[in-house]
């Protein structure tokens, strides 16, 4: 059985008891540490941020309850299970008042300990999720992707493949209002990370001087006003879940460098911190800008673009989803009927014509706002042409925001049969991009299997490996090929690895 990706700290001054607990828990959890010195353990907490603490009450020259109260006073909410050999009810009451999750009496029943640890971790995860869900409920956003057009069906097929590879980085492209966050949430909810948090960061809304603090957190003294001992950033909040970096093209060049390292190492330093923080998180980036053009202009790092452009999903603008306009509009009528206590049943023919002829430069977001206004003001049981008369049908069509549409053209039957073909726009596409996209999606369809991917392309595994190296890509670890942008460097390091063996 695979170990669960949790970090547990044991603070116990008896080496034998601590070692016994560590041996039991190490077989089930990824990282378990034992400290006999409580002060050293507290110092390590600042950088390690464990998911659970097992704390002895009597630690020789220190008192476990004092330590617990100190942690809570400093805003550290990590669950704590208190252990003691004294069955004093007053101690138990004080421990619970101080915020202890459980109270275990020595000699410790190891089966009881395992149950208590599992319950504490589960409750901690649930509290995190409830907090995040409460924040999300305040936004009143649609919860499902609606549409039956070929364009959205292709995007959904790719999203399902990406969801199946729980660590694969994804890049969602689309104009503002096309539903990029909704697609990212769909990937998260249909992945193995669904029980973990889903964190959204709008990179365009963060002031440049606060971006590092927002993403990576800080430690006390990092800047004026940094009084909390440890302040978690958005990456730490997303641990064991998914983080969406919306409008990633707006990040400064300095933050792009730091993001590149997180993508490569899954580690970072908090602002003002001296020790690395390791995280287990899937990164999804989204943008309404063409990152390839930005990288050519020197405004977006090319190596970061390659790292993000692993599994790419293109969300088409609403003007290219004519079949979905009335379907979406009808779903919004139902939403706002409930909100405004109306009973509007649909659209008059003239109103439906306006909706389908309009260019929808703001895409689904604009459509939703238009329907909200129409439902609020309409006095009959159907939205009339007059309620939509403010929409200008003579406005010039908007140009596509992207030079190419990177989705593979996949249908449900083709997915089952393992067939695939690349969809290229009339403007064409650079050959290198086409090859990288084909290789990345072939690996996705092959489940990360090198031999299967080679077979699908009718080439040998050796030829496939050579082709990937030529295009700056790596053999995947988690199901989808990654672009590294460092092919030469890896070739130079290969002999050194062989020499070590």
* 67 and 185 housed in the same domain: no
Q: Could you say which of 287, 314, 341 is where a domain stops?
A: 314
Measure the CA angle with vertex 351, ends 346 and 357; round to 5°.
125
Question: What distance in Å separates the CA atoms of residue 479 and residue 282, rounded to the nearest whole number?
Answer: 13
Domain that holds residue 470: 430-500
Residue 408: φ, ψ to 5°: -75, 150
- Listed in sequence order, the DSSP H helices in 341-409 are 349-357, 363-377
Same domain membership, residue 277 and residue 193: yes
Q: What are the pLDDT digits (tens) for 272-297?
A: 888 888 899 999 999 999 998 899 88
CATH code: domain of residue 248: 3.40.50.300
Choice among 240-244, 269-273, 395-399 with the minimum mean pLDDT:
395-399
The phi, psi pair for 47, rounded to 5°, reads -110, -30
- The CATH code of the domain that includes 51 is 3.40.50.2300
Note whether 179 and 228 are same-domain residues: yes
**Which comes out higher in pLDDT, residue 449 or 21?**
21
- Residue 451 and residue 382 in one domain: no
Handedness of CA 469, 475, 481, 487 (dihedral sign): negative
CB atoms within 10 A of CB 112: 12
- The last residue of one of the domains, among 260, 295, 314, is 314
Is residue 412 in some structural domain? no
| Residue 157 domain flag | yes
pLDDT, residue 1, reads 65
| Same-domain status, 335 and 438 | no
Of 154-163, 215-224, 332-341, 371-380, the one with minimum mean pLDDT is: 215-224
Using CA atoms, how far residue 174 sits from 141, 408, 411, in Å, is: 18, 15, 20
pLDDT band at 95 (very low <50, low <70, confident <90, very high): confident
User: Mean pLDDT throughout 74-87?
Assistant: 82
Is 160 part of a structural domain of the chain?
A: yes
Same domain, 258 and 377: no
Helices and strands in the chain, H and E counts = 20, 20
| Cα-only R_g, the chain | 27
Q: Which pair of tokens denotes residue 319?
A: 């003007």
Q: Do 183 and 292 lie in a common domain?
A: yes
pTM: 0.63
How far is Cα 299 from Cα 146, in angstroms, rounded to an integer? Answer: 34
Six token digits for residue 79: 């669950």
Q: Average of pLDDT values for 364-385?
A: 93
Instruction: Give the tokens for residue 48.
Output: 């390690």
- Find how far residue 224's CA is from the centre of its chain: 30
- Percentage of the chain exceeding pLDDT 70: 81
Return the H-helix or E-strand segment holding 37: none
Scan for tokens 């306009």, then name that residue: 325
């Amino acid at each position: 059985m695979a170990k669960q990706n949790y970090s547990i700290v044991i603070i116990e001054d008896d080496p034998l008891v601590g070692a016994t607990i560590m041996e039991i828990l190490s077989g089930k959890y990824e990282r378990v540490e034992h400290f006999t010195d409580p002060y050293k353990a507290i110092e390590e907490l600042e950088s390690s941020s464990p998911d659970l603490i097992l704390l002895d009450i009597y630690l020789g020259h220190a008192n476990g309850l004092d330590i617990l109260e100190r942690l809570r006073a400093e805003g550290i909410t990590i669950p704590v299970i208190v252990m003691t050999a004294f069955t004093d009810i007053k101690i138990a009451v004080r421990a619970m008042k101080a915020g202890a999750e459980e109270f275990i009496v020595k000699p410790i029943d190891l089966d009881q300990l395992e149950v208590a640890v599992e319950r504490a971790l589960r409750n901690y995860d649930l509290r995190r999720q409830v907090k995040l869900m409460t924040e999300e409920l305040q936004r009143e956003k649609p919860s499902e992707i609606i549409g039956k057009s070929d364009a959205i069906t292709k995007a959904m097929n790719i999203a399902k493949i990406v969801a199946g590879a729980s660590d694969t980085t994804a890049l969602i492209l689309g104009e503002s209002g096309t539903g990029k966050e909704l697609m990212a949430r769909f990937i998260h909810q249909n992945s193995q990370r669904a029980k973990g948090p889903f964190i959204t960061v709008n990179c365009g809304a963060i002031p440049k001087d606060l971006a590092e603090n927002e993403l990576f957190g800080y430690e006390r003294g990092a800047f004026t006003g940094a009084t909390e001992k440890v302040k978690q950033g958005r990456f730490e909040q997303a641990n064991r879940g998914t983080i969406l970096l919306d409008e990633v093209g707006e990040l400064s060049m300095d933050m792009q460098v730091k993001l590149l390292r997180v993508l490569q190492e899954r580690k970072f330093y908090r602002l003002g911190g001296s020790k690395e923080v390791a995280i287990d998180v899937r990164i999804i980036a989204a943008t309404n800008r063409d990152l390839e053009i930005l990288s050519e202009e020197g405004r977006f790092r090319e190596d970061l673009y390659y790292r993000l452009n692993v599994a790419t999903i293109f969300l088409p603008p609403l003007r290219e989803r004519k079949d979905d306009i009335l379907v979406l509009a009808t779903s919004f009528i139902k939403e706002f009927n409930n909100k405004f206590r109306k009973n509007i049943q649909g659209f008059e023919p003239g109103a439906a014509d306006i909706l389908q002829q309009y260019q929808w430069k703001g895409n689904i977001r604009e459509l939703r706002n238009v329907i909200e206004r129409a439902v609020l003001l309409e006095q009959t049981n159907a939205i009339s042409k007059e309620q939509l008369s403010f929409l200008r049908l003579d406005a010039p069509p908007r140009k596509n925001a992207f030079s190419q549409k990177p989705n593979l053209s996949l249908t449900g039957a083709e997915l089952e049969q393992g067939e695939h073909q690349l969809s290229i726009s009339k403007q064409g596409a650079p050959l290198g991009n086409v090859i990288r996209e084909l290789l990345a999606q072939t690996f996705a369809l092959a489940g990360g299997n090198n031999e299967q991917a080679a077979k699908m392309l009718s080439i040998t595994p050796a030829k496939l490996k050579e082709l990937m190296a030529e295009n700056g890509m790596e053999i995947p670890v988690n199901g989808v090929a990654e672009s590294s942008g460092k092919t030469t460097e890896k070739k130079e390091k290969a002999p050194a690895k062989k020499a070590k063996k």
